[in-house]
Homo-oligomer: A and B are copies of this chain.
Amino acid sequence: MIKELDPIARVLMGPGPSDVHKRVLKALSTPLIGHLDPQFIKIMDEVMEMTRQIFQTSNQVTSVISATGSAGMETCFVNLLEPGDSAIVCVNGVFGNRMCDIVERCGAQLIRVDAPWGKPIDPDQLRLALKGCKPKLVAIVHAETSTGVLQPLTEISKLVHEADALFVVDTVTSLAGTDVRVDEWGIDAVYSGTQKCISAPPGLSPVSFSPRAVEVMDNRKSKVQSWYLDMSMIRKYWAGAKRAYHHTGPISMIYAIHEALRLVLEEGLQARFERHMHNHLVLKEGFESMGFEFLVAPEFRLPMLNTIKIPDGVDDTYVRNKLLNEYNIEIGAGLGEFAGKVWRIGLMGESCTQNNIDLLLTALKNILS
């Protein structure tokens, strides 16, 4: 007989999930009600309203996909692209590559704009690419979780709109941890995750579509290739009193994000961004005083995901295993070309505290001494 689960508690300082507030855990354990219950419709309406606030948007079509952030990515592409369309994807890490994979599965023509991993996309590269094609959309990652790069978006947005394309942005790691201004920055389709700076469990993906993106979806010639992610039906399911059954909403997870979003807004977006930046600087100071170096140039560093070079002679796996098994601290490994070469240290949402930084620095000093 398989035993009851009883995992040893961990300090979550990897690339997500982050620690979850006890109020969110309590919300998760609320007894279920039906997904068509008027009480649940109200909860969904409130989740939509709070999601608009954290995306800083008035987009009517703002909701939560019933699957993780990667499904949110897929939602944006399958709803906006049709076979034969073309799309520019900016790639400087794992998640840009994932976008490319999805664009091709949509039967669309892919044009890549690459930057070296660990560096942002250069707007001039995009400008050049836009001279040679007329894409339906341009997609970019705001916060590359695989490298720790924060991508400036305003200049890129301008170029995209001058080319009359839709602007699609991945904010999985940035949302609720640093500024994400969907309306002001002219973002047409945006998705995120819940297990990063929102500090809810993984399993949902907040999304938002501008009126321009909605118009494009409304004028599709073909059905969206994914039934589950088809926004034409999901919109009606989330449309308040007149809602139409699509799938069965993940009730407990919606409870969780409802409470997590309340916590975000109670703290206030600006205060939350400042906390993330402040703790990032504290962590930076600590690591630099131990002789470590960051992968990313200071002006493009993500506050919530710190990519630190592993010094020569230090064994990546040994250190991460020691941290996990002896100190119960989880940090992230490098991905792709950075495997074994960097650590990815998360300071996301509830995990972003002075105490966590102190624990990690002390443990690392002990292990490396």
Q: A residues near B, CB below 8 A? A: 1-2, 4-5, 7-10, 12, 14, 16-17, 19-20, 23, 25-35, 37-40, 43, 46, 49-50, 66-71, 73-74, 98, 101-102, 104-106, 193, 195, 201-203, 223-229, 245-253, 255-256, 258-259, 262, 265-266, 324, 330, 335
User: Which of B2, B98, B102 is within 8 Å of A49, CB to CB?
Assistant: B2
Q: Could you say which residues of chain B place their CB within 8 Å of the CB of A245? A: 335
CB closest residue in chain B, given A16:
B248
Given contacts A10-B37, A66-B71, 15 further A-B pairs with CB under 8 A are A5-B259, A7-B37, A19-B31, A20-B32, A28-B29, A37-B324, A66-B67, A66-B68, A67-B67, A68-B249, A70-B227, A73-B227, A195-B248, A201-B250, A202-B249
CB atoms of B251 and A17 under 8 A apart: yes
CB atoms of B17 and A248 under 8 A apart: yes
Listed A/B pairs (18) with beta-carbon separation below 8 Å: A2-B50, A2-B265, A5-B255, A7-B31, A8-B33, A25-B29, A28-B252, A32-B201, A68-B247, A69-B248, A70-B246, A105-B224, A105-B225, A105-B226, A201-B253, A203-B203, A203-B250, A225-B225
Q: Which 5 A-B pairs have the closest CB atoms?
A: A203-B250, A29-B29, A201-B252, A67-B67, A70-B247
Q: Give A74 to B71 CA distance when docked, in angstroms.
A: 13
Contact A226/B225 with A49-B2, A201-B251 known, Cβ cut-off 8 Å: yes
CB closest residue in chain B, given A261:
B2
Residue from A10, A17, A245, A258 with most neighbouring chain B CB atoms (10 Å): A17
CB atoms of B5 and A34 under 8 A apart: no
**Number of copies of this chain that the complex holds:** 2
CB atoms of A5 and B17 under 8 A apart: no
CB atoms of A4 and B37 under 8 A apart: no
Q: Give A324 to B226 CA distance when docked, in angstroms.
A: 34
CB closest residue in chain B, given A262:
B2
- Could you tell me the distance in whole angstroms from the C-beta of A176 to the nearest C-beta in chain B? 16
CB closest residue in chain B, given A23:
B4
CB atoms of B32 and A67 under 8 A apart: no
CB atoms of A227 and B7 under 8 A apart: no
Contact A7/B33 with A203-B250, A252-B252 known, Cβ cut-off 8 Å: yes
CB atoms of B71 and A203 under 8 A apart: no
CB atoms of A227 and B35 under 8 A apart: no
User: Which of B12, B40, B228 is within 8 Å of A32, CB to CB?
Assistant: B12
Q: Give A46 to B88 CA distance when docked, in angstroms.
A: 42
CB closest residue in chain B, given A252:
B201
Q: Could you say which residues of chain B place their CB within 8 Å of the CB of A34? A: 10, 12, 14, 17, 330
CB atoms of B33 and A202 under 8 A apart: no
Q: Give A13 to B195 CA distance when docked, in angstroms.
A: 32
User: Which of B67, B202, B248, B330 is within 8 Å of A37, CB to CB?
Assistant: B330
- Could you tell me the distance in whole angstroms from the C-beta of A27 to the nearest C-beta in chain B? 6
Contact A74/B39 with A68-B66, A202-B249, A253-B201 known, Cβ cut-off 8 Å: no
